[in-house]
Structure formats: structure tokens, C-alpha cells
Structure 1
Amino acid sequence: MKLVVLSAGLSVPSSTRLLADRLTGAVQRHASVDVEVVELRDLAVEIAHHFTNGFPGRRLAAAQEAVAAADGLIVVTPVFSASYSGLFKSFFDVLDPDAVVGKPVLIAATGGSARHSLVLEHALRPLFSYLHAVVVPTAVYAASEDWGAQGLPERIERAAGELTALMTGLSAPSSAPQPAKADQEAGFTVVPFAEQLAALAAR
């Protein structure tokens, strides 16, 4: 399975990348995955050029292809003005609209204060619902005071487990009734979303 991690942190090092790495490590403890990390700050110029000329640069095109080919995504953004960063949103503005349809996505964010934690529910989750992704139930927010405190490691593990379950459910054979012949010929098995949620609830 291929996991693509999108980090929208701007500084080096950044708490956004740190959270992305913690989430990635947790997923790797649950399953064997091939990981590709995309630092959006490295694509900022190419994203801006794409808006003006309509064509992606080499690195931006590679990132777009990686997202489209992924079995699951981890996306992490810093909070700017009570929402996701402009760079984060701009990447998805230049992404193919169908690139994340049906794809499991773990959403996460970092900020200086716990007051911004609702960004996950009022900004990130609606964005990926609009893109028709499958957003895992547990989202992860890390404020400055959360690092080293109780609660964050548990949320990371729970979210990683949910993402892994969805990725495995979408890529593994199902014990459910046989899918339609057209799906079999296409080379994949469809696991109903209700069954995936029931499996998560039973964990």
C-alpha cells in the first residue's frame, strides 16, 4: 500500500512536519506501507505558476501523480487566520478534482492555541467531503501545549488505526458478497463504506 503525506509547514523544522512524521510512524506500526512525503513549501512557486499559466512544473506534476496513485493520505496544515493555510488550499485547487475521490484521508493541523482545534471540523473536513474523499473519524490537532502532554499520542494512534483499516479494507479482498462482474474485471474489490465504519467501531 502506498501512503502519501502532505505537509504544509513553512519553517524548518516545523511542528506541522513533526505531527506528520508522528502520524506516519503510527501508521507504519499498524501496517506495511510505502511512504512518500510531499513538502508543499517546496512547491509554492510551481503552484503559483500553475495558477497563471495552467501547467504544472515537474515537481508539482510528480506530487499530483503521487496523490492520485496513493492508497491513503495524511494531510497536515498549520492554522492561519482560523483556517488551513493558503498554500495548503492552493495545492488542492490545482489538483485534479477526481484525484482523491473515495480515497481514505487522515486530516490534522497544528496551531499555537487549542482554541483553533475546530479548524478540523469547520474547514478541513468539509474540504475533503467536497472532494469526495473518505475522511477518517478521528482528526488530530496539536497545539503548542500538546507536545509531550497526555492525549496527543493516543489520538495519533487511534487516527492511524482508522486510516490503516480503511486503506486495508479498500485494497484487500472482502468476505462480503461478490462484487459486480464489471468490478471484478476492473481488478478491484469494493468494500461498502458502512462495513468499513462497522469494522472501525468494533476495534
Structure 2
Amino acid sequence: MKLVGISGALAGEKTSLAVNDVLVAAGLLDPSLKTELIDLREYEIEFAVGAPLSDYNDDTWDVVNKILSADFLIFGTPIYQASISGALKNLLDLFPENAFKHKVTGIVATGWSNKHFLVTEYQLKPVLSFFKGLVPTGNVFIHNDSFNEESDEIIDQDVAGRIQKLANEMIYLQRAINDR
């Protein structure tokens, strides 16, 4: 199985590190798992205009195809102005309706306010469900205070435990989908 993580932040390190932590936790739980991090800062994703995918640049084409070819996915987003990042929303606008059918689609979000955990429940979760993704119950919101100020590493052990549980739940659910 291949788990692909998508960091939807164009600035800062926290979201990318959090998504990577899920990938690492999943790899430790299942060493046969292949993982890949797609950090949107490293790609020139074109603005979605409703054109066929073949009309977009190579980076856009490459990222969309990596995501479509994954067995399951972990989406990461910072919460800006009580919403997911525009970069992540733009990327999602490039996918067809059934893009995530039979795929577990986990969520990790970072933000300054504890109230921002609701953004993933009321914005991102419905979008992933629209694409027929199976959204786990153990998605993780990480307050910015849970990161080391200098290294941006997660220092909150409760958060680290929730990331571990999310990785475990995602693997369990994806195996169940594959085995049906």
C-alpha cells in the first residue's frame, strides 16, 4: 500500500512536519508501507479553471496523478481566517468527483485557536466526502503551542499520541477496504 501525505501550506514548516509525522508513524506501524510527502511549497500548481487536467503544467499533472495513484491519503492544512488554505482548496478543485473512492482520507490541521478544529469538521471533511473519501474519526488538530518554537517539532506528547492513533486507524480502515 502507498500512503501519500499532502501539506497544503505555502508558508512555514508546521503543517508539513505534522503530515510527515503521520507518514513516519504509519511506516513504523507497517514497514511494508510506501509513503510520500507532497509539500505544495515545492510545486507550481496552476490555478484551477475547470480545464481538462492535460491543459495544466507538469507540476499540476504530476501532483494530481501522485494523489490519484495513492492507496490512501493524509491531508494537512494550516487554518487561515477560519478556513483551509487556498492552496489546498485549489488543488482539490482539480479532482473528479470520485477521486478518493475506496480511499481513506485522513486530516491533520494546524492553527492558533483551539476553535479552529471545527474547520476540518465543517469544511474539509465534507469536501473529502464529496470525493467519496472515507474520513477517519481520529483526525488531528494541532495548536501552534504544541510545536517547539525554534525547530517546529511537535513537543506535545498528547498530540504525538493522537498522530499515532490516526496512523493506526488509517491503516486499519484501508486494509479493511482493500480486503472486502
- TM-score band by shorter chain is 0.7 to 0.9
SS in 2 for 1:109: strand
Q: What amino acid is the match of 1:99?
A: A
Counterpart mapping for 1:11-90 below 5 A: 11-12=11-12, 14-31=13-30, 32-43=32-43, 45-48=44-47, 50-51=48-49, 54=52, 55-90=55-90
Q: What amino acid is the match of 1:144?
A: N
Q: Is contact 1:47-1:94 (8 Å) kept?
A: no
Q: What amino acid is the match of 2:23?
A: T
Q: 1:29 offset after TM fit, Å?
A: 1.2
Counterpart mapping for 1:1-203 below 5 A: 1-12=1-12, 14-31=13-30, 32-43=32-43, 45-48=44-47, 50-51=48-49, 54=52, 55-147=55-147, 148-172=155-179, 191=180
Q: Is contact 2:2-2:34 (8 Å) kept?
A: yes
User: C-alpha distance in 1, partners of 2:3/2:88?
Assistant: 18
Normalized per residue, the structure richer in helix is 1
Q: 1:41 offset after TM fit, Å?
A: 3.0
Q: C-alpha deviations, 1:47-71, integer Å up to 9, x for none?
A: 22x5286522112111111111111
In the alignment, structure 1 segments of 5+ residues that lack a partner are 173-190, 192-203
Structure having greater relative contact order (Cα 8 Å, sep ≥ 6): 2
User: C-alpha distance in 1, partners of 2:112/2:131?
Assistant: 28
Q: Is contact 2:97-2:130 (8 Å) kept?
A: no
The share of aligned pairs that are identical, in percent, is 28
Instruction: Give the TM-score normalised by the residue count of structure 2.
Output: 0.87
Change (3 A) 1:117 1:46: closer
Q: What amino acid is the match of 1:18?
A: L
Root mean square deviation, CA, Å: 1.7
Q: What amino acid is the match of 1:164?
A: I
Instruction: Give the TM-score normalised by the residue count of structure 1.
Output: 0.77
> Which residue is equivalent to 1:175?
none
Q: C-alpha deviations, 1:121-167, integer Å up to 9, x for none?
A: 11111111121110111110111112312410111111110001122
